[in-house]
Chains A and B, each alone.
Chain A
Amino acid sequence: MTAASSSSPAARADFWAGVRAELPILLGVTPFGMIYGVLAVKAGLPAAAAQAMSSIVFAGSSQFMAVQLISTATPVVVIILSILVINLRHALYSASIAPYLHGLSRAWKVVLAYLLTDEAYAVAITLYQKKGVIPGSPWFLLGAGLALWTDWQLSTAVGIFLGAQIPAAWSLDFTLALTFIALVIPNLRDRPSTLAALSAGVTAVLAHGLPYKLGLLLAALVGILVGLWNERR
């Protein structure tokens, strides 16, 4: 399979179909990006770095976590390791979407890999599983990915601007925990994942005194093992 050329109307239609499929998701992503911008500024990041993180790392949860770790003066190596761990799940997306992007040029693969966020993956895989490999497959993902990318950069910028105006007394740092609650709780639909979350949380509290914030990585490991262990019962 080769990608349709950009001038073909079919390619353009698939690109815009991707953009449209992404739009409802942006409703939830926009405030998330704004809160990230606010928290990043509140954590002491210069505006340029806060914005650059949104375009270089481009992965919401890990950006929130990195900002929190930066504000508590965590060692750089631990912060990078934490970003790595929390973004490892993208390997699953990469594996599951690879068959639909077979035979593309290297440039296509690089661009689509960069744009492979939770949200772009979600709409693309839904279409691919319904329709199989179509010539417009990469264009659809490109549209969805670019829609999300644009929204994420803009909402980050708005958040950075707002963050500079909001007084610390508003306890806005708490929105980080609240955002994570909103991301985790609805997905605790079975016993193993619930126990993974609980055990990781408790481990993090108990291991809070460990140096270099290693409690976070230890907690992740405990949570994964507890989840796996409970699948077999």
Chain B
Amino acid sequence: MERTAVNGNLWWILILGGALTFLIRLSFIALQGRWQPPELLQRALRYVPPAVLSAIILPEMLMPQGSLQIGAENLRLWAGLAAMWVAWRTRNILLTIAAGMAVLYLLQWLF
């Protein structure tokens, strides 16, 4: 198995990441409604998933080898765009993944 730089600290990631996630989930249940999050915070948290996930998606599509690559030779860009269209039209996770991989394989086979 390939070793990565963080392998030695893997269990810290699991334990601390798990503990923090649990405490977030427990937070207001434990408080019994004695304190509600401020309205601004509630609105801000709504943007966390689209922001964080997009911050992973775009670099994966636009810089697959680590540097910006916008053009016909970047197959992942086109496969990703196709997947976006399918996601928008069908809202189906499986179809989106299947379409993206199908386009990627097709392009790899063609070029």
Contacts and interface: CB of A to CB of B under 8 A. Distances in A.
Interface of A: 28, 31-32, 35, 43-46, 49, 52-53, 56-59, 61-62, 65-66, 68, 70-71, 73-76, 79-80, 82-95, 97-99, 101-103, 109-110, 112-114, 116, 171, 174-188, 192-194, 196-205, 208, 215-216, 219-220, 222-224, 227-228, 231
Describe B's contact surface by its main secondary structure.
Answer: helix
Describe A's contact surface by its main secondary structure.
Answer: helix
Interface string B66-85: 10100000001001100110
A215 B17 CA distance: 20
28 contacts: A45-B10, A49-B14, A56-B15, A58-B18, A59-B21, A61-B53, A73-B5, A88-B24, A94-B26, A97-B28, A98-B33, A99-B33, A114-B25, A175-B101, A177-B76, A178-B100, A180-B56, A184-B49, A187-B49, A192-B47, A200-B54, A201-B54, A201-B57, A204-B58, A208-B59, A220-B48, A224-B48, A227-B44
A203 B57 CA distance: 12
Contacts of A58: 18, 21
Among B7, B22, B56, B58, chain A packs the most CB atoms within 10 A around the CB of B56
Contacts of B55: 200-201, 203-204, 215-216, 219-220, 223
Chain B residues touching A, range: 35 or more
A188 B27 contact: no
B37 A91 contact: yes
A183 B53 contact: yes
Nearest to B50: A197
A92 B2 contact: no
B16 interface: yes
A208 B68 CA distance: 10
A31 B101 CA distance: 14
Given A65-B52, A97-B29, A87 B68 contact: no
B110 interface: no
Given A56-B14, A200-B52, 18 more contacts: A53-B17, A65-B52, A70-B13, A76-B9, A76-B12, A79-B13, A83-B20, A86-B48, A93-B25, A94-B24, A180-B53, A182-B87, A184-B50, A201-B55, A223-B50, A224-B47, A224-B51, A228-B47
A153 to B, nearest CB: 14
Contact of B6 (A35, A79, A110, A231): A79
A114 B58 CA distance: 31
A98 B42 CA distance: 15
Given A87-B20, A87-B24, A91-B45, A68 B56 contact: yes
Nearest to B68: A205
Nearest to A219: B55
A193 B47 contact: yes
